[in-house]
Chain A
């Protein structure tokens, strides 16, 4: 079955960077866009951007441009999201989510289990 397994929780200081991984299995990794969505404690969902694992092309939400970098390693079917210059309001659970269709439709299904990133001095 399709599965996305994310890396473990992180604690970072303000100004640092964090890199979260998302390992995919059960399907052809390069065939589906991968998205990243975050959720601050007690808050709603916020889309951060996508990566096309086949080409490496990316599209970031305007809010995160300049601070986020999405990459992939096709040899191990893993996508990465790196967020730099962390602030306290970046404290959130970060999810990877695969596009539901092989054509890019921006529907998220399935999701990874989430990675809690805590930014604290």
Chain B
């Protein structure tokens, strides 16, 4: 099973700043089957990025994803107040298993 490790655990930034979140896999993620989700308190997660770099429907272009193999990054170019949340990466390359990272909490500094 592929283990995903996200860093940092908590990221403290101010609105307008750039956020860089990391997701490292224990083995190569096939065909860049790596997704990112955003979860706000009391809400269900929302798909942001799939295929490592494709934005889901309705996701603002300040969110971007990159990476391949074992190292992936979610970048938020200019933080808006509504972007402060927890972010999870997920690998979905296997039809019979899915794993999530442990999450990165993005908090207001």
Interface residues of A (CB under 8 A from B): 35, 44-47, 59, 61, 95, 97, 100, 104-114
Residues of A within 8 A of B35 (CB): 107
B50 touches A107 (CB 8 A): yes
Q: Contact flags (1/0) for B25-41 with A, using CB distance below 8 Å?
A: 00000000101010000
Q: Is B77 an interface residue (CB 8 A)?
A: no
A109 touches B47 (CB 8 A): yes
Distance (whole angstroms) from the CB of A8 to the closest CB of chain B:
15
A106 touches B92 (CB 8 A): yes
User: B56 touches which one: A46, A61, A109 (CB < 8 A)?
Assistant: A109
Given contacts A106-B92, A107-B35, contact A44 B102 (CB under 8 A): yes
Residues of B within 8 A of A113 (CB): 44
B101 touches A44 (CB 8 A): yes
Residues of A within 8 A of B102 (CB): 44
CA distance in complex: A111, B97 (Å)? 18
B92 touches A45 (CB 8 A): no
Q: Is B81 an interface residue (CB 8 A)?
A: no
CA distance in complex: A112, B44 (Å)? 7
B103 touches A105 (CB 8 A): no
A111 touches B46 (CB 8 A): yes
CA distance in complex: A46, B88 (Å)? 11
Residues of B within 8 A of A111 (CB): 44-46
User: A44 touches which one: B33, B47, B88 (CB < 8 A)?
Assistant: B88
Given contacts A44-B88, A44-B100, A45-B88, contact A100 B47 (CB under 8 A): yes
Residues of B within 8 A of A59 (CB): 95-96
User: B47 touches which one: A45, A47, A107 (CB < 8 A)?
Assistant: A107
A104 touches B95 (CB 8 A): yes
